[in-house]
Amino acid sequence: MTEIEKVKEIEKTEREKIRESIKMRKEKQKLGQFEKATVECPECGSHTLVHDYERAELVCNECGLVVDADFIDQGPEWRAFDHDQRMKRSRVGAPMTYTIHDKGLSTMIDWRNRDSYGKSISSKSRAQLYRLRKWQRRIRVSNATERNLAFALSELDRMASALGLSRNVRETAAVVYRKAVEKNLIRGRSIEGVAAAALYAACRQCNVPRTLDEIGEVSRVSRKEIGRTYRFISRELGLKLIPTSPIDYVPRFCSGLNLRGEVQSKAVEILRQASEKELTSGRGPTGVAAAAIYIASILCGDRRTQREVAEVAGITEVTIRNRYKELAEELDIEIIL
């Protein structure tokens, strides 16, 4: 009798488990249908849904059906009409960034002796504020690793500013350097060399090419050291970077030579024809780009001398002569000098 009771109890628990699993499956299906309904119109099946923030409604752009109503506005409750008002009314700090060693999450005590209302702080509190400011600077960098990281990121920012690089390139370079620190690739190498190599890798990742010579001019290490360190960190971190295309250099060189958009388009067209005939492989991208710009400037009647193009591209006149002769012969371009 006891064994029969045990068997019945086991069967009962198994039935309860099956019921619970069926119930969970139904709830998941309901959630899936709700999520599908929020991104797809149930009437016409369209995916072009528009948020009407004045009426707090989600409306289908095709058939006009109100899919959802009374949704919550995730934005701030205040309004601002210019940048100053937005900065005054905002109650949050700057966004997180990898270009600062603590990712911008620490507190900064301002150097101005004023409170949050803009009023001047009394002379009694100024001595205490000075001490707080001094200790705040000290505790931001707690150990040698953070000190080295802070120095490296400031060096990255200095080089990026000298080269006129955008924010996303700086962020990418900081991420590459942090990965190198995590894998202990800095040991035995100079911080400046690894920072310069990380910046060069970030430029190639973001399709904003800069040559090793340009990086070497703004850094405190040699071109050879940057190239060697770059090859090492790209191998260790598994950075898959495609070779730089000469087309990526055309906008910058044309801007430096004050050429029209017509010349730039013609140079890109010449380079595409050259890449189809595999004339760009095995040659320096800057030299090929400079030669294409030189040819395009002559064809479009906005002539620039070989010396002017060579100075902007950072190469010699001999390189331009050799490359433009190759392109003109292979692509059957008649150049009247």
Single out the residue of 55, 155, 48 nearest to residue 101, CA to CA: 155
Pairing type for strands 66-69 and 49-52 reads unpaired
Contact between 249 and 289 under an 8 Å Cβ cutoff? The reply is yes
Q: Please enumerate in sequence order all residues whose Cβ is within 8 A of that of 200, keeping only pairs 6 or more positions apart, or say none.
A: 210, 212, 215, 226, 230
> Can you say which residues are annotated as belonging to the binding site?
41, 44, 60, 63
Instruction: Return the SS3 of 294.
Output: helix
Stretch (H or E) spanning 60: strand 57-60
Sign of CA dihedral 171, 201, 242, 287: positive
| Annotated binding residues for Zn(2+) | 41, 44, 60, 63
DSSP code, position 209: -
Closest Cα partner for 80 from 93, 67, 90?
90
CA-wise closest residue to 74 among 56, 55, 93: 56
31-49: burial string, b at 16+ Cβ within 10 Å, e else: eeeeeeeeeebeeeeeeeb
Residues in contact with 91: Cβ distance below 8 Å, sequence separation at least 6, in sequence order: none
Using CB atoms within 10 Å of the CB of residue 124, give its burial: 0 to 12 exposed, 13 to 18 middle, 19+ buried: exposed
